[in-house]
């Protein structure tokens, strides 16, 4: 049967189990998606179209691929705006599929902005569908890239969506995705080192989540009795109430990073950035780097042993090797758990104190503490924004299930939390979904709030309303780092709860600490009937949080 390219793509997406596509019009595939019955989640700008699909892939650990469409081709206005979303997905290694119009034959070189070269800088793979009968082939390749190896965005440009081909000539079959197991010799070498180390530390990255390997990580950590830290993006890969969990950041993490003589990195790029640790005294430590491919090996620090393969298969192989050696006894190492507990207790004491503070304006940690109280931490989703909400939540928020919390951002692009909360609601409709933001993130979101009402997405936006970019300006913490650009109109001048309430959200403005819990409960309650909520907590500026090793405060 002869069909057009747009119809072919729509049918293939359905075969691949794609349940909806986020978009901002126009894209020439959209009408076919509509005709073929693929629901579209229309965002209010192109960056959010990408970000929602990106977040969906992250939150499902790549087991369900987020797909988005936006305007491209000769009038690449949408694509230029979507670029920010794609750059963020690329930076963070998220397997999102972006479909856009391509520049048609005969029009290349006509515009200033070169679509193909721009897209290549932000994608794992960029496909250009130059012949209609190649539709199945390019979609196969796209899903192969999305489901195998190191995760990253795939971009497909369609120059002529109305061109036709014979659908029966090359029937499409869904792509499984493939994994690789590590070389047994590398596993043996890694275990030699691990069992010989005095103070090993497991450094878990997001690859653990993409491999669905949280249980395997726990099993290995318990078998070898080794403390675990996770990266910001992997927060939740290891249960944070586990006796071997050290933390994501802060003094106790610094202590273990300093003390360790061996780092077993699993599923992490080990790339010290703005929101991750440097490895102190790296040359004096043995770094065993388990990663899905070679890109990050010997990057920044010398890798003593690389173990290349899927994180789950790697963790299983390491565990098997340890068990085989010691008649299953693993590794005894004194009272590691008690030491971890003491280090955590000491480092977190100052935060736990303010988590129950009655001061006014409300201390932001009081909101986080009460949020933990109100949520079922095994059946909810929380994410942060760029700014203090990221730094503070990643210091104290206890995450008990993978993706109960989404940490994001090798670089952290303001506004992403709303996209993440939407994606979480789409992925797990039964879970409460909360985005915690400051004024800057909220500014990015405003135009997209209508989507929640239209789509009946029961999400709560928690606003830590402190009238400025906390820490940028002077205060008890010192001079601040951007004293000329830190003030915006705050709660005394603007009532955001009225602004957003007028849109149709359930809103509240809370200045009493004792009202935090009741207000959160009311918000989560209205969410269950599909109504979004916005709660503005009138907070003090309190830029205090756990540090990254080797970095100064942002
Ligand atoms: C797109 C983008 N531009 C700039 C930044 C830099 N940036 C990070 S946080 C921030 C301000 C945060 O202030 P606010 O939202 O009020 O949060 P607070 O720290 O006060 O809690 C800025 C400008 C960024 N992360 N993303
Ligand atoms: Mg602020």
Q: Residue 553 pLDDT more than 70?
A: no
Residue nearest to atom 14 of ligand 1 (CA): 438
CA 542–ligand 2 middle distance (angstroms): 10
CA 465–ligand 2 middle distance (angstroms): 6
**Residue 458 exposure: Cα atoms within 13 Å on the Cβ side:** 16
What is the atom index within ligand 1 of the atom nearest the CA of 389?
21
Query: Among candidates 480, 469, 460, 412, which has minimal Cα distance to 438?
Result: 469
Please, which residues bridge with residue 534 across strands?
A: 461, 507
CA 495–ligand 2 middle distance (angstroms): 14
Taking every pair of Cα atoms in the chain, the longest distance, rounded to a whole number of angstroms, is 71
pLDDT of residue 114: 87
Cβ of residue 440 lying under 6 Å from some atom of ligand 1: yes
User: What is the pLDDT confidence band of residue 367, given thresholds at 50, 70 and 90?
Assistant: very high
Q: Residue 244 pLDDT more than 80?
A: yes
pLDDT of residue 272: 86
Q: How far is CA 191 from CA 6, 219, 262, 292, 529, in A?
A: 51, 15, 11, 18, 52
- Our mutation pick for probing the ligand 1 site, out of 469, 536, 544, counting the most ligand atoms within 8 A of Cβ, is 469
Contacts (Cβ under 8 Å, ≥6 apart) of 62: 95, 146, 147, 151, 210
* Residue pair 510/329 in contact by the 8 Å Cβ criterion: no
Cis peptide before 452 (omega within 30 of 0): no
Cβ of residue 386 lying under 6 Å from some atom of ligand 1: yes
Contacts (Cβ under 8 Å, ≥6 apart) of 346: 251, 252
pLDDT of residue 332: 79
What ligand has the least distance to the C-alpha of 388? Answer: 1
> Phi, psi (5° rounding) for residue 304?
-75, -45
Distance between CA atoms of residues 139 and 175, nearest Å: 9
User: What is the pLDDT confidence band of residue 324, given thresholds at 50, 70 and 90?
Assistant: very high
**Per-residue pLDDT tens over the stretch 485-530:** 999 999 999 999 999 999 999 999 999 999 999 999 999 999 999 9
Residue nearest to atom 13 of ligand 1 (CA): 469
| Of 439 and 300, more confident | 439
**Per-residue pLDDT tens over the stretch 18-56:** 999 999 999 999 999 999 999 999 999 999 999 999 999
- Our mutation pick for probing the ligand 1 site, out of 386, 394, 536, counting the most ligand atoms within 8 A of Cβ, is 386
Cβ of residue 412 lying under 6 Å from some atom of ligand 1: yes
* Residue pair 469/438 in contact by the 8 Å Cβ criterion: yes
> Phi, psi (5° rounding) for residue 56?
-65, -45
Q: Which stretches of 175-332 are assigned E, i.e. beta strand?
A: 200-204, 228-230, 245-247, 262-266, 286-291, 305-308
* Residue pair 533/505 in contact by the 8 Å Cβ criterion: yes
pLDDT of residue 552: 43
CA 382–ligand 2 middle distance (angstroms): 18
* Residue pair 250/244 in contact by the 8 Å Cβ criterion: no
Cβ of residue 417 lying under 6 Å from some atom of ligand 1: no
Cβ of residue 387 lying under 6 Å from some atom of ligand 1: yes
CA 442–ligand 1 middle distance (angstroms): 10
Q: Would the CA dihedral through 459, 465, 469, 470 be positive or negative? A: negative
CA 335–ligand 2 middle distance (angstroms): 42
* Average pLDDT taken over every residue of the chain: 96
**Between β-strands 380-383 and 432-437, what pairing exists: parallel, antiparallel or unpaired?**
parallel
SS (H, E, C) 112-170: CCCHHHHHHCCCCEEEECCCHHHHHHHHHHHHHHHHCCCCCCEEEEECCCCCEEECCCC
pLDDT of residue 494: 96
Query: Among candidates 344, 354, 349, which has minimal Cα distance to 240?
Result: 344
Burial of 529 (C-beta count, 10 Å sphere; 0-12/13-18/19+): exposed
Cβ of residue 260 lying under 6 Å from some atom of ligand 1: no
- Angle in degrees, CA 162, 166, 167, rounded to 5: 95
pLDDT of residue 133: 98
What is the atom index within ligand 1 of the atom nearest the CA of 415?
1
Q: Which stretches of 28-140 are assigned E, i.e. beta strand?
A: 40-42, 67-70, 97-101, 125-128
Cβ of residue 307 lying under 6 Å from some atom of ligand 1: no
Average pLDDT over residues 252-266: 98
pLDDT of residue 326: 76
Q: Residue 551 pLDDT more than 80?
A: no
Measure the N-to-C terminal CA separation of the chain; round to a whole number of Å: 58
């Amino acid at each position: 049967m002869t069909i057009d390219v747009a119809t072919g793509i729509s049918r293939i997406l359905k075969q691949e189990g794609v349940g909806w596509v986020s978009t901002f019009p126009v894209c020439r595939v959209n009408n076919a998606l509509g005709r073929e019955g693929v629901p579209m989640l229309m965002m209010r700008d192109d960056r959010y179209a990408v970000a929602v699909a990106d977040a969906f892939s992250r939150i499902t650990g790549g087991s369900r691929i987020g797909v988005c469409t936006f305007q491209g081709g000769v009038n690449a206005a949408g694509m230029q705006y979507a670029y920010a979303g794609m750059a963020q997905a690329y930076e963070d290694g998220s397997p999102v599929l972006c479909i856009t119009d391509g520049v048609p034959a005969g029009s290349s070189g006509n515009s200033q902005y070169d679509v193909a070269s721009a897209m290549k800088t932000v994608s794992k793979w960029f496909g250009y569908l130059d012949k209609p009968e190649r539709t199945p082939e390019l979609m196969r390749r796209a899903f192969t890239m999305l489901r195998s190896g190191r995760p990253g965005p795939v971009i497909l440009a369609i120059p002529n969506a109305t061109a036709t081909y014979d659908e029966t000539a090359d029937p499409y079959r869904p792509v499984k995705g493939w994994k690789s197991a590590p070389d047994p010799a590398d596993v043996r070498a890694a275990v030699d080192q691990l069992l010989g180390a005095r103070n090993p530390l497991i450094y878990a990255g997001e690859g653990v989540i993409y491999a669905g390997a949280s249980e395997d990580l726990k099993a290995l950590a318990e078998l070898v009795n080794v403390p675990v830290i996770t990266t910001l993006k992997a927060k939740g890969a290891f249960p944070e109430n586990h006796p071997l969990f050290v933390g994501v950041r802060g003094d106790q993490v610094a202590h273990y990073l300093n003390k360790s003589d061996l780092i077993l990195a699993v599923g992490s790029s080990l790339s010290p950035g703005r929101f991750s640790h440097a490895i102190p005294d790296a040359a004096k430590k043995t770094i065993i780097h388990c990663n899905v491919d070679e890109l990050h090996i010997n990057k920044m620090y010398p890798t003593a042993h690389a173990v290349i393969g899927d994180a789950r298969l790697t963790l299983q192989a390491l565990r098997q090797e340890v068990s085989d050696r010691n008649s299953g006894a693993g590794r005894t190492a004194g009272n590691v758990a008690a030491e971890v507990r003491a280090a955590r207790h000491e480092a977190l004491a100052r935060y736990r104190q303010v988590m129950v503070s009655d001061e006014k304006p409300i201390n932001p940690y009081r909101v986080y503490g009460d949020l933990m109280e109100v949520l079922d931490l095994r059946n909810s989703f929380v994410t942060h924004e760029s700014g203090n909400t990221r730094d503070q939540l990643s210091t104290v928020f206890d995450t008990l299930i993978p993706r109960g919390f989404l940490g994001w951002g090798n670089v952290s692009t303001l506004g992403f939390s709303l996209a993440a909360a939407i994606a979480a609601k789409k992925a797990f409709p039964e879970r409460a979904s909360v985005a915690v933001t400051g004024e800057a993130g909220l500014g990015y979101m405003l135009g997209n709030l209508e989507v929640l009402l239209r789509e009946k997405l029961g999400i709560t936006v928690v606003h830590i309303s402190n009238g400025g970019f906390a820490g940028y300006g002077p205060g008890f913490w010192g001079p601040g780092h951007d004293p000329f650009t830190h003030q915006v109109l705050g709660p005394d001048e603007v009532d955001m709860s009225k602004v957003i309430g007028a849109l149709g959200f359930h809103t509240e403005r809370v200045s009493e600490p004792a009202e935090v819990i009741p207000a959160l409960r009311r918000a989560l309650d209205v969410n269950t009937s599909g109504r979004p909520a916005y709660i503005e907590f009138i907070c003090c500026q309190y830029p205090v949080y756990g540090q990254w090793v080797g970095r100064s405060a942002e």
